[in-house]
Amino acid sequence: MFDPNKEWSISFAGCGFMGIYYVGVISCILERFPRFIRDASKIYGASAGALMAAIITLGIPLDKCCTDLMYMAKEARKHKLGPLHPAYNLLQLVQESLLEKLPEDAHLRVSRKLSLSLTRVSDGRNLLVSQFDSREELIQALICSCFVPLYCGVVPPTYRGVYYVDGAVSDNLPRCQLGRTITISPYAGESDLCPRANTLTFHEVRFNNVSIQVNSENLYRVTSTFFPPEAEAMAEICQNGYMDALRFLQENNLISSESPLKSLQADATERVCCDQAKDSPGGGESVKRDHPWLDPKLIRNLPAELQRVLCKACRETHTAGGLLTHMTEYLPKKVTSYLPFDSARSMAQRVRGWIPDVPRDMRWLFGMDVTKQ
């Protein structure tokens, strides 16, 4: 049982595009028990969990982060190979988002409270970093913590001149063994705050400290970690995070209300994701007909600003993938996306961006890097 009168920390597991689950979790906590984040002595994170840890430590608005995440997922789904397509550069999108969102004094505001999990390439050992000398150094550490080998590229990024990769490779749930660390994961398992399994569980495995039950639901979640599902499915995952957080707060007596769920439902009836859903006459079936890109029930418990972001993302995806797109999918102009020319052009763009770092990276590729942490 969580005791708010004693010191505690929070740890977020790495989870790729399933990070949309954390958006729902944190939105619920900020609404109903913000002290859980504000008074935490340490906030740990690996990979996508590191990004969420930085976001909440800095107090960056969740709707802006949700917008960026939905955009990254939409861009990935544009390609047949998803995030593996040469034209898609996930870390570049993450870096652009960080450069835009992080304030100039971000490193001062997070130092000693934020702790990021990195994996050192030279020996595979885990490193937790919590002291940052500049905003650029903080961004470097976040990029290193998110770099999945091969999935994100071949040559890893550096932090203080040393090569690191995804913290999930060595420790995907930092300090989870400490009794006062509240663990959060989007996979059903033994974490303090996580989904509950609704299907038969055959076994439980641990991936670098993260408990993951072996069942069909978690198989879907693991797949969605690397290959983002459709926008409507991501919206539902976000609301699931909200409801799981609400259950956690209830079970630990952290919200004072006679009937939190009834209160939640009452609030939800006043929230609408867009004017079209609000103006739809009749019951739920009418809303579905006039609002085909997203069933409002899937996001009805989320804060209004998140509802609007998710509704807009789903509408854009629905419009882009409408009837005309399906009718013209196999026309000659579409065929170019399957030709070597498209991949060659995309690869050339990546190579052009890599050229300034060629000397350093060639030394690493041939084993000549001798820097030590």
Sorted by where each begins, the domain ranges of the chain are 8-228
Cα 98 from Cα 63, distance rounded (Å) = 15
Q: How many helices (H) and strands (E) does the chain have?
A: 17, 9
> What pLDDT score was predicted for residue 326?
39
Least confident of 12-26, 141-155, 314-328: 314-328
Cα 148 from Cα 164, distance rounded (Å) = 10
Amino acid at 248: F
Largest interatomic CA distance in the chain: 69
Mean pLDDT of the chain: 83
Cα 88 from Cα 81, distance rounded (Å) = 9
Work out whether the CA dihedral 132, 133, 134, 140 comes out positive or negative. Answer: negative
Q: Residues 9, 47, 191, 211: which is the catalytic one?
A: 47
Cα 103 from Cα 227, distance rounded (Å) = 30
Q: Residues 68, 166, 171, 369: which is the catalytic one?
A: 166
**List of residues 6+ apart from 76 with CB closer than 8 A:** 17, 82, 83, 88, 90, 227, 228
> What pLDDT score was predicted for residue 222?
95
Take residue 211 and report the two structure tokens written for it. Answer: 């408990």
Cα 70 from Cα 87, distance rounded (Å) = 18
Higher-pLDDT residue of 288 and 175 is 175
What's the rounded mean pLDDT across residues 121-139?
95
Amino acid at 46: A
Do the beta carbons of residue 192 and residue 248 sit within 8 Å?
A: yes
> What pLDDT score was predicted for residue 365?
54
Q: Is the pLDDT of residue 203 over 70?
A: yes
Active site residue 47: yes
Cα 147 from Cα 169, distance rounded (Å) = 10
> What pLDDT score was predicted for residue 236?
97
What confidence tens digit (pLDDT) does each residue in 254-271 have?
A: 985 434 444 455 455 456
Least confident of 25-34, 52-61, 145-154, 313-322: 313-322
Active site residue 166: yes
Residue 213 DSSP one-character state: E
| Number of C-beta neighbours around residue 337 at 10 A | 15
| Number of C-beta neighbours around residue 161 at 10 A | 11
> What pLDDT score was predicted for residue 328?
34
Identify the top-confidence range among 13-17, 352-356, 369-373: 13-17
Work out whether the CA dihedral 182, 183, 184, 187 comes out positive or negative. Answer: negative
What confidence tens digit (pLDDT) does each residue in 145-182 have?
A: 999 999 998 899 999 999 999 999 999 999 887 879 99
> What pLDDT score was predicted for residue 27?
97
